[in-house]
Amino acid sequence: MSAPSPVVPAASPWPRRLAWATWCATIPLVFFGGSVTSLHAGLAIDGWWVVDPGKGDFFLPLYPLDRWVHSLGAFVEHTHRLLGMLVGLLAIATVVAAFLREKRGLPRALALLGLVAIVGQGVLGGLRVLEKSTDLAFLHGSIGQAVFALLGAAAFAMAPSEAASGRVAAEAPAQKRLLLAALAATAVVYAQIVIGAWLRHGQSLVALVAHVVMLMFVAGAVTFLAHALRKAAEENGGAADERALRRTGIALWSVFWAQLTLGMLAFVWVYVVVGKDRVPTELHQSFFPTLHVLGGAALLFCCVASLVRALRRRAVPEHATATTAVRAGAAG
């Protein structure tokens, strides 16, 4: 008669819930941030907090309603700031919950890094307003989507550990292939995002050509990553996370094709419908370009989620894998 297996205490669900709430709140934050750029509304509200006396002398939730709805630009910009504050508060709650209830190092580190990134991004956005700097606006736009992906990675890392769930790690070749593919795809997709921010803030022909050329590298990197996810799923030998790997691959391809479609629609909208030299005056005129920004963030998140999954699978202790195999043999 075999000895009973040790009971693994259930982890608190609150760190994961708060991490996902933070990430979900970042979706409208990125959308309104993209709308600010599309509508050229970055300076629609003078000042930032109370750093610039006589202009930003309002605590964000107490900003006068009549000024908030005074114009489309002011509405979009102030809503973006309010959402940024909400994301920051949720990130603080996530860090507190992670350090109180989460014992693993990776989720704690990602939660803390996410909070630091949010604070830095908020300060960068404020300095952009105070300095009226297009260079800082470019940096703010580029980093925003990276923060979005980082917060998603933190939420992804809060899932129950592979060892605790009894999942078997894939063989070393599949692990290495998945890790390499995820790293490459993350780097290439983020490079494309930076070029896209350059195009949105500079409207130069060079940036447009670079964005189109870089698309081929993105397609190659996504294909490589999707193949690595499929191979990792096939080499699992019936492990419980096979379906999760396949779902990640499906999500990756779905977001890629949706983003490609949004890119073509954004090009037609900006260069044909609205006109490259015209500033949109209505929210619907900036809809497709802004959705394209959000799509880029979603594609980067898929790549980073694959990277976190690869890191978590590599972290499964060998003794946990061996124990699972012994249990499977005994059951047979």
Q: What percent of the chain has pLDDT over 70?
A: 79
The whole-number pLDDT of residue 214 equals 96
The whole-number pLDDT of residue 5 equals 45
Which pTM value belongs to this model? 0.83
How does residue 221 score in pLDDT terms, banded at 50, 70 and 90?
very high
The pLDDT of 200-225, averaged and rounded, is 92
The whole-number pLDDT of residue 59 equals 73
The whole-number pLDDT of residue 105 equals 87
pLDDT digits (tens, 9 = 90+) for 148-204: 999 999 998 888 765 444 454 445 677 888 999 999 999 999 999 999 999 988 778
Residue 54 has pLDDT above 50, yes or no: yes
172 against 96, higher pLDDT: 96
Cα–Cα distance measured from residue 303 to residue 179, given in angstroms and rounded to the nearest whole number: 10
Contact present, 63 and 90 (Cβ < 8 Å) = no
Q: Residues 6 or more apart from 21 whose CB is under 8 A from it?
A: 90, 94
Cα–Cα distance measured from residue 271 to residue 30, given in angstroms and rounded to the nearest whole number: 23
Contact present, 86 and 94 (Cβ < 8 Å) = no
Residue 303 has pLDDT above 90, yes or no: yes
The pLDDT of 120-137, averaged and rounded, is 88
Residue 116 has pLDDT above 90, yes or no: yes
93 against 164, higher pLDDT: 93
Q: Residues 6 or more apart from 109 whose CB is under 8 A from it?
A: none
Residue 112 has pLDDT above 90, yes or no: yes
The whole-number pLDDT of residue 159 equals 81
Tell me the C-alpha to C-alpha distance, in Å, between residue 164 and each of 8, 167, 200, 228, 320.
7, 8, 46, 24, 8
Cα–Cα distance measured from residue 225 to residue 182, given in angstroms and rounded to the nearest whole number: 6
Contact present, 280 and 39 (Cβ < 8 Å) = yes
In the structure encoding, which two tokens stand for residue 68, read together?
A: 């908030």
Average pLDDT, the chain: 82
**In the chain, where are the structural domains located?**
12-159, 167-332
At position 39, the amino acid (one-letter code) is L
User: How many CB atoms are closer than 10 A to CB 315?
Assistant: 15
Nearest Cα to 43, choosing from 78, 5, 69, 13? Answer: 78
User: How many whole angstroms from its chain centre is CA 103?
Assistant: 24
